[in-house]
């Protein structure tokens, strides 16, 4: 090693030792005589002092130092003089008196400041990712990521799981998300697909008798990106044999509780995790991934709406829709402009409009409420008693603002759930240091698709239905519940899993019900169905998304891009490598591919 110790490791117990340090010039403070350098390496920062009286040669070398130069410094560790210690630095009690200095490599002036935590355009950061990753915040994020993944591996290893790698080049199965395809050189016109998840592979491992499998698995989906979605993301994929729901959920609860408590001292969590039913969660929050750090629960107002004179409400209800709303405490005094803002917010989330009712006055009782204290977009279509009914259902008090959306259930729920999150933020109810986990269970097995006029799996078709729901497959498939569970946290879906079908007959019934022909079933799922005939054990699993979890865990992440070393932009571009990019005609020819101009 060129160095004897890391910069960030130096403490008062090293005082008197002569050390050789190597790293990057983080900051330089030149007093003409004395020069102070904050020297940075992967372990942290330490202050180096160049004194022209102690070592003129070293001082002369340091005069030329500039930001991000790579330098080597030899010197003695000393306690800082009284009054000059820096309590903000872990190494702030000591400093190094340089006796020798050497430039190992120079650096151009970086395109943005690495030593300060300022706002820098994200595209610029992506284009210079190797510099962006030098910043303390990104460095902390990647270290945190390593610790979390290591904890997961150790935790599962302790419990008898083994990590098994599965192929990245596998086969396209057209259901679900769009596949990333890789052309075959050897078989013209044939393609591998990158796995959206190792779902079938891990089930085959259960058939193979491994009983407890896990993998830190990369998963690929060619769909549009978001702050919480990248074309490739990493899951802790796991699967167990001879288990039921409770085995999986308690394992995951213990894992996540441990990680938060032992790896993330900056986070608090609520124990035990809540277990919520899908229907209940949809009714109360309008989404299957509610932020449970705050209340603001939705109330169904459809019945009240029917009794009013409001055309808007009647139209929605007559069209088979619903009316729901919630109360924003203390927002009764919102200005016209603020209300308009919320309306626009709801509209951009798909709602036709937003109905607001603000209640003036004070106290907690609605008894003294008069129509004069009610301000609403639909005030003239409401009686005082109806306003009170709405207030009671939404638990609104005088001084509150009730927000109501009417329309098809899906639209109203989407808009309201996002409005609820928005108000949670505005009212500062979303404590970023708090993580509230919950398991959502009892999902429907199927969802009706208006687009294809067919039943589709709510999650995936390997999910087993509740055992006593099989008869419903013929009579009322929409009522079938799945042995499926999600882990949600702070409004994010963190994991998804299920107990699987392990009986070929039953698995095939589901596939036939979904409209697959015997040929399609054989071609797409033949390998799995075949395996189910050779002693497949009951099994189930789950797959927590590691990027999303880290995003919630980190104090320095604005999106999952901040916890991924080299992420893509919203247009799925790698701004550093400029991928994707054209390839040579020779490469295309070998792959039997011709590019067609559109």
- 408 is an interface residue for RNA by CB under 7 A: no
Q: Is 174 in the site for RNA (CB under 7 A)?
A: no
- How far apart are CB 359 and RNA at their closest, in Å? 29
CA distances (Å), origin 314, targets 114, 274, 299, 559: 58, 37, 17, 41
CA distance 307 to 314: 9
3-state secondary structure 299-346: EECHHHHHHCCCHHHHHHHHCCCEEEEEEECCCCCCCHHHHHHHHHHH
Under rule CB under 7 A, residue 107 binds RNA = no
Q: Binding residues for RNA, how many (CB under 7 A)? A: 72
- Which x/- pattern, by CB under 7 A, does the window 445-484 give for RNA? ------x----xxxxxx-----------------------
| 38: contact with RNA by CB under 7 A | yes
Q: 113 vs 362, which CB is nearer to RNA?
A: 113
Token pair belonging to 493: 């879906």
Q: Is 113 in the site for RNA (CB under 7 A)?
A: yes
Between 378 and 542, whose beta carbon lies closer to RNA? Answer: 542
Report phi then psi at 422, rounded to 5.
Answer: -60, -45
Contact between 418 and RNA per CB under 7 A: yes
Whether 325 and 416 have beta carbons less than 8 Å apart is answered as yes
Contact segment (CB under 7 A) with RNA among 7-15, 110-118, 269-277, 472-480 equals: 110-118
Q: 196 or 358, CB closer to RNA?
A: 196
Nearest to 453 by CA among 544, 383, 515, 402: 515
- Alpha carbon distance 174, 196 (integer Å): 11
Q: Which stretch binds RNA (CB under 7 A): 106-114, 162-170, 180-188, 245-253?
A: 106-114
Closest to RNA by CB, 88 vs 336, is 88
Among residues 86, 57, 92, which one has the least CA distance to residue 74? 57
Regarding 554 and contact with RNA (CB under 7 A), the answer is no
CB of 115 to RNA, least distance (A): 7
**Shortest Cβ distance from residue 547 to RNA (Å)?**
13
440 burial (CB, 10 Å; 0-12 / 13-18 / 19+) is buried
The binder of RNA chosen from 105, 109, 265, 364 (CB under 7 A): 109
* The 3-state secondary structure of 121-176, one letter per residue: CHHHHHHCHHHHCCCHHHHHHHHHHHHHHHHHHHHHHHCCCEECCCCCCECCCCCC
Query: Which range, of 44-52, 209-217, 320-328, 515-523, touches RNA by CB under 7 A?
Result: 44-52
Q: How far is the CB of 4 from RNA (least distance, A)?
A: 21
Does residue 118 interact with RNA by CB under 7 A? yes
| Binding of residue 80 to RNA (CB under 7 A) | yes
Among 12, 18, 29, 433, binds RNA (CB under 7 A): 29
Taking CB under 7 A as the rule, does residue 562 contact RNA?
no
Q: Which stretch binds RNA (CB under 7 A): 219-227, 263-271, 296-304, 582-590?
A: 219-227
Under the criterion CB under 7 A, does residue 597 sit at the interface with RNA? no
Work out whether 428 is an interface residue with RNA (CB under 7 A): no
Please select the residue that binds RNA; options are 571, 581, 594, 595, rule is CB under 7 A. 571
Quick one: which of 7, 21, 40, 47 contacts RNA (CB under 7 A)?
47
Closest CA to 437 of 473, 474, 488, 478: 488
Q: How far is the CB of 58 from RNA (least distance, A)?
A: 13
Using CA atoms, how far apart are residues 489 and 269, in angstroms rounded to an integer? 10
CA 194-198-200 angle, 5° bins: 115
The answer to the question of residue 226 lying near RNA (CB under 7 A) is yes
**Cα dihedral 23/24/29/32 (nearest 10):** 70
Rg (CA), the chain: 30
Stretch near RNA under the rule CB under 7 A, chosen from 109-117, 306-314, 324-332, 527-535: 109-117
* Residue from 16, 32, 160, 535 binding RNA (CB under 7 A): 32
Tell the burial category of 82 from Cβ atoms under 10 Å away from its Cβ (0-12, 13-18, 19+).
exposed
Question: Smallest distance from the beta carbon of 165 to RNA, in angstroms?
Answer: 18
Q: Is 349 in the site for RNA (CB under 7 A)?
A: yes
87: left (phi over 0), alpha (psi -120 to 50) or beta: alpha
Site for RNA in 121-160 (CB under 7 A): 121-124
> Is residue 503 within the footprint of RNA (CB under 7 A)?
no
């Amino acid at each position: 090693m060129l160095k004897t110790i890391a910069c960030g490791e130096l403490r008062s117990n090293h005082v008197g030792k002569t050390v050789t340090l190597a790293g990057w010039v983080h900051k330089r403070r030149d007093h003409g005589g004395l020069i102070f350098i904050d020297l940075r390496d992967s372990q942290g920062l330490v202050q180096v002092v160049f004194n022209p009286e102690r070592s003129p040669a070293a001082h002369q070398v340091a005069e030329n130092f500039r930001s991000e130069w790579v330098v080597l410094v030899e010197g003695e560790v000393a306690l800082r003089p009284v009054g000059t210690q820096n309590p903000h630095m872990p190494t702030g009690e000591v400093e190094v008196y340089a006796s020798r200095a050497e430039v190992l490599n120079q650096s151009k002036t970086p395109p943005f400041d690495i030593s300060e935590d300022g706002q820098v355009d994200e595209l610029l950061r992506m284009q210079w990712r190797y510099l962006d990753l030098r910043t303390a915040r990104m460095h902390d994020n990647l270290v945190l990521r390593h610790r979390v993944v290591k904890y997961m591996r150790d935790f599962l290893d302790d419990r008898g799981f083994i990590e098994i790698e599965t192929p990245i080049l596998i086969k396209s199965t057209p259901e679900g998300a769009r596949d990333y395809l890789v052309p075959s050189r050897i078989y013209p016109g044939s393609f591998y697909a990158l796995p959206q998840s190792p779902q079938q592979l891990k089930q085959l491992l259960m058939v193979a008798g491994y009983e407890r499998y896990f993998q830190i698995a990369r998963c690929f989906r060619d769909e549009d990106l978001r702050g919480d979605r990248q074309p490739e993301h990493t899951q802790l994929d796991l699967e167990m044999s001879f288990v039921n729901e409770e085995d999986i959920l308690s394992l995951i609860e213990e894992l996540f509780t441990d990680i938060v408590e032992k790896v993330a001292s900056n986070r608090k969590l609520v124990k035990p995790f809540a277990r919520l039913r899908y229907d209940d969660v949809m009714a109360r929050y309008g989404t299957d991934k509610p932020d449970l750090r705050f209340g603001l629960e939705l109330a169904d107002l459809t019945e009240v709406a029917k009794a009013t004179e409001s055309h808007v409400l009647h139209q929605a209800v007559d069209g088979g829709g619903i009316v729901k709303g919630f109360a924003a405490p203390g927002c009764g005094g919102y200005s016209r402009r603020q209300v308009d803002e919320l309306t626009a917010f709801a509209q951009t989330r798909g709602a036709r409009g937003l109905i607001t009712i603000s209640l003036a006055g004070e106290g907690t009782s609605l008894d003294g409420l008069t129509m004069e204290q009610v301000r609403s977009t639909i005030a003239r279509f409401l009686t005082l008693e109806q306003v009170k009914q709405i207030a009671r259902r939404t638990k609104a008090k005088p001084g509150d603002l009730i927000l109501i959306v009417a329309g098809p259930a899906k639209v109203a729920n989407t808009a309201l759930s996002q409005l609820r999150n928005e108000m949670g933020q505005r009212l500062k109810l979303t404590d970023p240091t708090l993580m509230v986990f919950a398991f959502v269970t009892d999902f429907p097995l199927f969802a009706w698709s208006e687009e294809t006029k067919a039943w589709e799996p709510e999650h995936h078709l390997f999910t087993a239905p509740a055992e006593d729901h099989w008869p419903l497959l013929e009579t009322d498939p929409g009522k079938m519940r799945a042995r499926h569970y999600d882990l949600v946290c702070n409004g994010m879906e963190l994991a998804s899993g299920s107990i699987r079908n392990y009986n070929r007959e039953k698995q095939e019934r589901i596939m036939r019900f979904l409209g697959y022909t015997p040929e399609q079933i054989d071609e797409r799922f033949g390998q799995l169905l075949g395996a189910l005939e050779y002693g497949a054990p009951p099994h189930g699993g789950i797959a927590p998304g590691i990027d999303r979890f880290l995003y919630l865990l980190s104090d320095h992440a604005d999106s999952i891009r901040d916890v991924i070393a080299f992420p893509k932009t919203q247009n799925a571009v790698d701004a550093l490598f400029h991928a994707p990019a054209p390839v040579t005609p020779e490469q295309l020819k070998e792959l039997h591919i011709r590019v067609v101009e559109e």
